[in-house]
């Protein structure tokens, strides 16, 4: 057992003994680090204990939150996943949220472990009709999410109910652009000003058709597919109430710049088929997604990933994703004609 695994084991044992005094003879084992993206630390583990009804064994996942917004993100993810699970939406069941003093020094959530593989891995080895079926499943889950009643989730993701109850179709885009401007100002990234100006100049072209609950980081690595093809959506830390096109655009940006334009087109067509309507002005929202991606990278590589709510070590993964980031920047130029010299210098320094 590595030092990290031993620390996780010891920490979990002390937490369970404190939180569940009726559970006796607690054993924690099979601790394994799980593949993650830029944001959180994930560990799978097995817990065994005795209670009044007999011995029990559970396979679980520990999700530890890093970054400046760890507290807010952990609370939001726990509450959103709990509400979705109660509605029957395909998410793992969350079991425990810890915010304060704990052995890991950061907020964390424990949830059930879904035995399966990432949809990304399954897609990469699939072809023909099987691949088309998986893409449609992927798109249907996202469309189903966007058509849920968003109102019960407002208090879980935002303190400002008035933003969503207004009849002003431009309230959301105005709010989002103001939020982006604050981030640019906060991190002194004036080089992104022309891109924000481009978005503001066209904001009247994208009234919000309807608010939706969005995932915020929906891509095939955040779908766990069981052997029976039942899918579960994970990683809800970026959930929000927003224009559904902002969610779809983020997905299209990631799929298109990792897997290619044909994959982007397949997801867009699949989403339109699953939702039953044509998506308009999606390119505008892709530019918003590009700004988010490049700002995340710019700040993380100069000030540390924690400043954008990501896990320690995410910077190295960003460097390994240099080809993806170059494609993101190339798409920016193709969509807007805007070149950002500071981003070009950053990309040229990546290996």
Q: What is the residue-wise DSSP string for 306-351?
A: GGGT--TTHHHHHHHTHHHHHHHHHHHHHHH----HHHHHHHHH--
Backbone angles phi, psi at 290, to 5 degrees: -60, -45
**Could you tell me whether strands 94-98 and 108-112 are parallel, antiparallel, or unpaired per DSSP bridges?**
antiparallel
- Output the CATH code of domain 117-349: 3.90.1200.10
Write out the two tokens for 259.
């897997």
Asked if residues 285 and 313 have their Cβ atoms less than 8 Å apart, the reply is: no
* CATH architecture under which domain 3-112 falls: 2-Layer Sandwich (3.30)
The percentage of residues in the chain with a pLDDT greater than 90, rounded to a whole number, is 81
The gap from C-alpha 344 to its chain's centroid, in whole angstroms, comes to 26
DSSP state of 100: S
State the pLDDT at residue 34: 85
Residue 168's alpha-carbon distances to 10, 171, 212, 224, 276, in angstroms, are 52, 5, 15, 38, 25
Please report, for the chain, the start and end positions of each structural domain, with discontinuous segments joined by +. Answer: 3-112, 117-349
Asked if residues 350 and 327 have their Cβ atoms less than 8 Å apart, the reply is: no
The Cα–Cα gap between 74 and 85 comes to 16
Write out the two tokens for 166.
């207004």
**Could you tell me whether strands 54-64 and 41-51 are parallel, antiparallel, or unpaired per DSSP bridges?**
antiparallel
- The DSSP result for 107-174, as a single string, is -EEEEEPPPSEEHHHHHHT--HHHHHHHHHHHHHHHHHHHTS--GGGHHHH-S-THHHH-S-TTHHHH
Residue 225's alpha-carbon distances to 30, 95, 318, in angstroms, are 21, 21, 26
* Virtual torsion, Cα 37, 38, 39, 45, nearest 10 deg: 40
Q: Based on the number of CB atoms within 10 Å of its own CB, is 185 exposed (0-12), middle (13-18) or buried (19 or more)?
A: exposed
Torsion sign, CA atoms 324, 330, 336, 338: positive
10-residue block means of pLDDT along the chain (351 residues)? 90 95 95 73 95 95 88 94 98 95 92 96 96 98 97 86 80 95 96 98 95 96 96 95 97 97 97 98 98 94 71 77 96 98 93 64
pTM of this structure: 0.93
State the pLDDT at residue 263: 96
The Cα–Cα gap between 18 and 216 comes to 34
């Amino acid at each position: 057992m590595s030092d990290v695994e031993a620390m996780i084991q010891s920490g979990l044992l002390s937490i369970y003994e404190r939180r569940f005094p009726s559970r006796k003879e607690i054993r924690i084992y099979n601790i394994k680090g799980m593949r993650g993206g830029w944001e959180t630390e994930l560990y799978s583990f097995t817990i065994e204990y005795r209670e009044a009804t007999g011995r029990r064994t559970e396979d679980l996942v520990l999700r530890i939150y890093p970054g400046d917004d760890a507290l807010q993100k952990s609370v939001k993810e726990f509450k959103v996943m709990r509400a979705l699970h109660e509605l029957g939406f395909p998410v793992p069941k969350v079991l425990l949220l810890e915010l304060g003093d704990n052995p890991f020094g950061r907020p964390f959530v424990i949830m059930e472990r879904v035995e399966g593989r990432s949809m990304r891995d399954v897609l990469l080895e699939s072809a023909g009709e099987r691949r088309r079926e998986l893409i449609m499943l992927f798109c249907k889950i996202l469309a189903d999410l966007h058509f849920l009643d968003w109102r019960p989730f407002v208090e879980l993701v935002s303190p400002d109910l008035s933003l969503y109850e207004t009849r002003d179709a431009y309230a959301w885009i105005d709010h989002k652009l103001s939020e982006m401007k604050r981030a640019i100002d906060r991190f002194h990234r004036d080089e992104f000003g022309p891109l924000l100006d481009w978005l503001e100049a066209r904001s009247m072209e994208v009234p919000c058709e309807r608010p939706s609950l969005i995932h915020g980081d929906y891509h095939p690595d955040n779908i766990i597919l069981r052997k029976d093809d039942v899918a579960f959506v994970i990683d809800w830390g970026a959930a929000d109430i927003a224009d559904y096109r902002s969610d779809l655009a983020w997905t299209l940006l990631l799929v298109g710049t990792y897997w290619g334009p044909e994959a982007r087109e397949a997801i867009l067509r699949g989403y339109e088929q699953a939702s039953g309507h044509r998506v308009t002005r999606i390119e505008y929202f892709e530019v918003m997604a590009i700004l988010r991606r490049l700002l995340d990278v710019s700040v993380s590589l100069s000030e540390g990933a924690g400043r954008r709510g990501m896990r320690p070590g995410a910077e190295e993964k960003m460097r390994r994703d240099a080809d993806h980031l170059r494609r993101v920047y190339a798409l920016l130029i193709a969509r807007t004609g805007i070149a950002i010299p500071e981003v070009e210098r950053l990309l040229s320094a990546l290996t």
